[in-house]
A = this chain, B = another copy of it.
């Protein structure tokens, strides 16, 4: 049996879907209203799933304060920002939620390793109907 922990976070950010290699008409054709020049935004819900052995004393996978500190430090790099403008790793990229999920997984992975736990999955939802999951590939 394995034990995992899933914990929810959220952040607010603005973004605009826009390919700088294309002109406005072509961006509008591909991304529709999501390419409006002044951008729009979302309440992003983030579900972080980690696993690891139980600490024999506390009988917990991880101290939640430690996990929160590490996740919030990553979220602070994207929260209250315009994603494809203010986040260096995503500058010039399409700020799709696929890319947001990958970005968060890549930033969180070394932090959770440092805590002695394994990052299994980062799931990002823009709405109740849609979610994008960056998941560790099976070994």
Which chain A residues have a beta carbon within 8 Å of chain B's beta carbons?
A: 1-8, 10, 12-15, 19, 30, 33-34, 36, 38-43, 54, 57-61, 64, 79-82, 85-86, 93-94, 96, 98-99, 101-102, 105-106, 126-137
A10 to B128, CA, bound (A): 11
Q: Which of B30, B40, B82 contacts A58 (CB 8 A)?
A: B30
22 contacts between A and B (CB under 8 A): A1-B106, A1-B134, A1-B137, A3-B133, A4-B132, A6-B130, A6-B132, A7-B130, A8-B129, A12-B42, A14-B38, A19-B57, A30-B58, A33-B79, A36-B81, A38-B86, A39-B39, A40-B41, A41-B42, A54-B99, A59-B99, A64-B130
